[in-house]
Amino acid sequence: MRFELQLTQINNFKTKANLQNNIYLQLENAYFLCRPPERTALKSKKKLTDLENFIRYLFFEKMDEEKVLIENILRLPVKKCEDYLIKIFMKVATRGRYGQMNKICAILRYIGQFYPQLQVRITDQVIEHIISGLETNYSGDRQKRITMIKFFAELFNYQVIEKGAFFPFVADINLPFRFGLQNAVFHHGFWLRQPEPKNSRYPRPERRHIQNHADLHVARRN
């Protein structure tokens, strides 16, 4: 009780007195050290099922043993855990080690013979990530976009994606007008913006060379 009274007196003194900033901060820090503010309860992590934990164990612990991994995936009830399998495939391919991307594509190529819907859904997600990343053009997701394009190319190398879907998409994302580069020129593998034409709707004012002070006064009047 005595300690509580002292804290309330300090708090009242802090609010009523006209104190300097450094003294006010010292009193406030001392008050909150003795009585810290109430914290909100931490959100508990989502509990995974036994099947999801087993899938995580296969992809994160048995990735080097490809035969064991493929045999156990084929034994899974894919229809029940299809969404989680796609999530783990995308996570390992884009956030895991760079050398694991080839293994993921090889595993997906083999499993696609039995479950072709997995290949289709993963390919759709990769294409959606690439298009949304190019449209938003957020600098923080630059490395993620490069990884997605690399993953898309590796899927084509392992014949998960056919030529009829791969080359039109690559040509589409390379078009200059697709992402706001209407007046662009292809130069050394890059689309570069052209300078504005002279006959544009809003031409830039020409800069005149002023020789003496008389021309300066005329230019100011004009």
pLDDT above 70: percentage of residues in the chain = 73
Task: State how far the Cα of 142 lies from the Cα of 46, in Å rounded to an integer.
Answer: 29
- pLDDT tens digits for range 149-194: 889 989 999 988 888 888 888 877 765 444 554 455 544 444 444 5
- pLDDT tens digits for range 148-157: 888 998 999 9
Q: How far is CA 168 from the centre of its chain?
A: 24
pLDDT at 121: 92
What Cα–Cα distance (Å) separates residue 201 from each residue in 44, 176, 197, 198, 222? 59, 21, 9, 9, 22
Single-letter residue type at 140:
G
pLDDT at 40: 67
Q: Would you say 172 and 178 are in contact if contact means Cβ atoms under 8 Å apart?
A: yes
pLDDT at 169: 84
> Does residue 210 surpass a pLDDT of 50?
no
Task: State how far the Cα of 50 lies from the Cα of 123, in Å rounded to an integer.
Answer: 27
Specify the range with the lowest mean pLDDT, choosing from 5-19, 92-106, 114-128, 205-219: 205-219
Is the pTM higher than 0.85? Answer: no
- pLDDT classification of 44: cutoffs 50, 70, 90: low
Q: Quick one: fold of 50-161?
A: 1.25.40
pLDDT at 84: 92
Residue ranges per domain, the chain? 50-161
